[in-house]
Amino acid sequence: MVMGSENLILRIDGLQSEEDRMDVKRALEDVAGVKWVCVDGEAGTAVVIFDPERTPQDNLINVVMEMGYAVKRFFSG
């Protein structure tokens, strides 16, 4: 893990297409402190590596929820 980074895995319900997957990826990448994002549309998950001193986990979850998706914290560490 990169120093000053945390991993967050989100479960995202409602990803229907490649376009949905890319929209979520871009939205998360635009959040300050986000270093890396991978969204798996088939699994309905997003892995985010971010700097918790710049962005709390709740900000990342809220970005996706504001797009209209149901989101749950799957794992963080």
- The structural domains of the chain, with segments of one domain joined by +, span 6-76
Low-confidence ranges of the chain (pLDDT < 50): 1
Q: Which fold has domain 6-76?
A: Alpha-Beta Plaits (3.30.70)
Burial of 24 (0-12, 13-18, 19+ CB in 10 A): buried
Q: What pLDDT sits at residue 76?
A: 64
Provide the whole-model pTM: 0.90
Q: What pLDDT sits at residue 73?
A: 82
Q: What pLDDT sits at residue 3?
A: 65
20-27 own/partner pairs: CB under 8 Å, 24+ apart: 23/67, 24/64, 24/67, 24/69, 27/63, 27/64, 27/67
